[in-house]
């Protein structure tokens, strides 16, 4: 319940840079060195006065910047129910963050203000957090020419799977489309295009 220590644009910028520099963020020693540099710049700027910059006044030491960065990252991940998995590639270890896709879908459904299941109903489910999920029920034996497709999740694959899902799980079952993609850093690191 502690409020964030990164409560100004400059502090949020320092946090963002430390977590994203070089694609995978700074190592622990690099974050301490970064905080040391920021604090040195603030001391130079305030020389001859009693003023303190945002880094110096928010973090008692260079090392405390690292601790606060970890706390902030852990808080954000906990709020989103994220899990962490280390991926070792050569001499580097990357941390992969993931969430349970079923739980994400169920949360989107439970927080939705409106859900449409009708055939050829081009409306979407939109939750309070802006998540949009397509949940259309379509009879494949009927004419589907009136259905408007405008996004990457509007694929006939979901229409084809709908009867199988209903046969196995009952007539009230629905298909929840999920789009997955590889992280750009992981793909480029592995040599793929």
Does some domain include residue 151?
Answer: yes
| pLDDT of the residue at 173 | 81
| pLDDT of the residue at 78 | 82
Residues 107 and 74 in one domain: no
| pLDDT of the residue at 118 | 47
Residues 48 and 108 in one domain: no
| pLDDT of the residue at 122 | 38
| pLDDT of the residue at 90 | 78
| pLDDT of the residue at 188 | 56
* Domain count along the chain: 2
Rounded CA-CA distance 98/83 in Å is 5
Tell me which residue range forms the domain holding 41: 9-79
Rounded CA-CA distance 131/133 in Å is 7
Residues 74 and 105 in one domain: no
| pLDDT of the residue at 119 | 47
Averages of pLDDT over runs of 10 residues in the chain (193 residues) are: 85 92 84 94 91 91 93 84 82 80 83 63 44 45 52 66 85 75 58 52
Q: Which among 89, 114, 106 has a CA at the least distance from the CA of 24?
A: 89
| pLDDT of the residue at 101 | 85
| pLDDT of the residue at 190 | 55
Does some domain include residue 40?
Answer: yes
Does some domain include residue 183?
Answer: no
Residues 15 and 73 in one domain: yes
- Residues 83, 98, 191: CA angle, nearest 5 degrees: 125
């Amino acid at each position: 319940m502690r409020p964030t220590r990164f409560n100004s644009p400059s502090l949020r910028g320092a946090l963002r840079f430390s977590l994203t520099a070089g694609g995978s963020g700074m190592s622990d020693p690099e974050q301490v060195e970064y905080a040391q540099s920021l604090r040195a710049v603030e001391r130079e700027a305030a020389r001859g006065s009693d003023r303190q910059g945002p880094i110096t006044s928010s973090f008692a030491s260079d090392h405390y910047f690292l601790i606060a960065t970890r706390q902030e990252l852990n808080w954000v991940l906990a709020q989103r129910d994220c899990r962490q998995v280390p991926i070792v590639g050569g001499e580097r270890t990357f941390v992969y963050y993931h969430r349970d896709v079923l739980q994400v879908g169920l949360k989107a459904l439970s927080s939705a203000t409106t859900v449409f299941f009708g055939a050829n109903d081009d409306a979407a489910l939109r939750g309070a957090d802006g998540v949009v999920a397509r949940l259309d029920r379509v009879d494949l034996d009927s004419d589907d020419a009136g259905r408007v497709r405008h996004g990457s999740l509007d694929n006939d694959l979901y229409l084809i799977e709908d009867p199988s899902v209903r046969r196995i799980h009952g007539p009230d079952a629905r298909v929840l489309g999920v789009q997955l993609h590889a992280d750009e850093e992981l793909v480029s690191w592995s040599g793929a295009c």
